[in-house]
């Protein structure tokens, strides 16, 4: 992936040229643009733009780790709660009710009932997909399942598990993110389960982005390793990831958000067969670079990274709709846990970072999910735990 090295002058230009009326005043965090192929991965810091704050209002309260959100109409949305292991239906006016549970869903560490993605034909079939931890006796793994919501929207049932055997140990680095591509394939972003060999081992589902047929869970015939005798390898689209937390589609592009170790959270533009360079061996050695250009072959550099201090990046969604003006389709909204803010990253059509800003700094604590409602509003969930979490609506200022 050829990218430009940002010079000090170029970084200053990014700041002055980006006219996003959406950065929190006083933000001063330093981040870095992607580098080209330098092993040290050094780029000049791009300062965060100061701009008018967005408006936010609380929609739902008394939640516990709401992990993902998906709108099923202009006024209703489904959301998961990781540790409660429930799927609920919420309304934009503040209503909520549990509609789905399933036996065997396991919650532990960072794993539980996680990602949620509507099928492209949801309006007709009412099908949707989740990614969740599963336990049978002493055996644990992460699975992707198809669910169906009834016509009355009062009950959801698990119809079929389409992918199983994604690695899980203690629940650390369980991933998991889901998004449908433009051609109808389902992309699955996974975590490495804190096992050093998983990200570079193509027979493992850990530390990967998989591309599967959503009906069967099988790898696509167009996948890079479709001829392998190993079912999991046939699903692999990209590899060398640490812990994929968010996936977002823009046209035919699939973007991932990934958490770093003690440095370099990443936003990546995914390319078929791409190796994104995480190889924490021997053992589970987190001192290695997030993108190690010393590995054999070519490693794909991140389009954005946090630098030496991680933010704990999580969800991702492209701004959409007329309410965002020229920012629609150009700005990626990324939630953060540790940094407690919403970061807005502007990219060109080809994926070059041109600016960024910060929102909601410290206002709601740790932020987990972000999605776009049919009218363009952002809906953001918190991840503070203890039944204190909420879902917040965010609009231009």
pLDDT digits (tens, 9 = 90+) for 66-106: 999 999 999 999 999 999 999 999 999 999 999 999 999 99
Q: For residue 3, name the pLDDT band (cuts at 50, 70, 90).
A: very low
Starting at the edge strand that comes first in sequence, how are the strands of the sheet with 186-189 ordered? 177-180, 186-189, 208-212, 236-239
At residue 51, the pLDDT reads: 67
**383 located within any domain:** yes
Put residue 171 in one of left, alpha, beta given phi > 0 → left and psi -120 to 50 → alpha.
left
CATH of the domain at 133: 2.120.10.30
The tens digit of pLDDT for each residue in 176-231 reads 999 999 999 999 999 999 999 999 999 999 999 999 999 999 999 999 999 999 99
H-state helical runs in the chain:
8-17, 122-125, 231-235
**111 located within any domain:** yes
CA atoms within 13 A on the CB side of 385: 4
Entry pTM: 0.90
What backbone phi and psi angles, to 5 degrees, belong to 137? 65, -125
**1 located within any domain:** no
Of 18, 17, 10, the closest CA to residue 43 belongs to 10
At residue 49, the pLDDT reads: 74
**3 located within any domain:** no
What is the number of structural domains in the chain?
Answer: 1
Give the C-alpha separation, 126 to 151, whole Å. 8
**2 located within any domain:** no
Cβ(193)–Cβ(168) below 8 Å: yes
Q: Domain range spanning residue 85?
A: 8-363+371-395
**301 located within any domain:** yes
Give the C-alpha separation, 219 to 231, whole Å. 7
**352 located within any domain:** yes
For residues 278-300, give the mean pLDDT: 96
Give the C-alpha separation, 229 to 210, whole Å. 16
At residue 12, the pLDDT reads: 34
- pLDDT for 20 beyond 80: no
**356 located within any domain:** yes
């Amino acid at each position: 992936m050829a990218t430009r090295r940002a010079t000090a002058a170029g970084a200053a230009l990014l700041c002055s040229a980006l006219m996003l009326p959406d950065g929190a005043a006083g933000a001063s965090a330093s981040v870095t643009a992607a580098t080209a192929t330098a092993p040290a991965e050094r780029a000049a810091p791009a300062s965060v733009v100061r701009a008018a704050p967005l408006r936010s209002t609380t929609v739902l309260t008394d939640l516990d780790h709401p992990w993902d959100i998906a709108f099923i109409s202009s006024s209703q949305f489904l959301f998961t709660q990781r540790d409660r292991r429930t799927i609920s239906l919420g309304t934009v006016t503040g209503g909520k009710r549990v509609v789905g549970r399933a036996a065997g869903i396991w919650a532990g560490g960072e794993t539980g009932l996680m990602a949620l993605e509507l099928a492209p034909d949801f309006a007709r079939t009412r099908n949707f997909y989740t990614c969740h931890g599963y336990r049978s006796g002493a055996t644990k793994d992460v699975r992707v399942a198809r669910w169906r919501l009834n016509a009355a929207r009062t009950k959801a049932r698990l119809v079929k598990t389409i992918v199983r055997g994604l690695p899980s140990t203690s629940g650390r680095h369980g991933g998991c993110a889901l998004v449908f591509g433009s051609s109808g394939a389902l992309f699955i972003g996974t975590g490495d389960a804190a096992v050093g060999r998983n990200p570079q081992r193509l027979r493992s589902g850990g530390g990967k982005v998989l591309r599967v047929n959503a009906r069967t869970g099988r790898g696509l015939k167009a996948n890079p390793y479709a001829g392998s005798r190993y079912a999991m390898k046939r699903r692999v689209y990209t590899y060398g990831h640490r812990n994929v937390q968010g996936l977002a589609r823009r046209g035919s592009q699939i973007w991932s958000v990934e958490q770093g170790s003690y440095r370099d959270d990443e936003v990546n533009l995914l390319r078929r067969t791409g190796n994104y360079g995480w190889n924490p061996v021997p053992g589970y050695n987190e001192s290695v670079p997030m993108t190690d250009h010393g590995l054999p072959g070519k490693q794909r550099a991140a389009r954005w990274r946090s630098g030496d201090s991680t933010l704990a990046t999580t969800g991702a969604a492209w701004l959409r709709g007329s309410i965002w003006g020229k920012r629609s389709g150009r700005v990626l909204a990324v939630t953060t846990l540790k940094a407690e803010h919403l970061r807005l990253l502007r990219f060109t059509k080809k994926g070059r970072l041109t600016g960024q800003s910060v929102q909601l700094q410290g206002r709601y604590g740790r932020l987990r999910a972000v999605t776009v409602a049919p009218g363009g509003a952002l809906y953001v969930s918190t991840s503070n735990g203890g039944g204190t979490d909420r879902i917040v609506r965010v609009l231009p200022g």
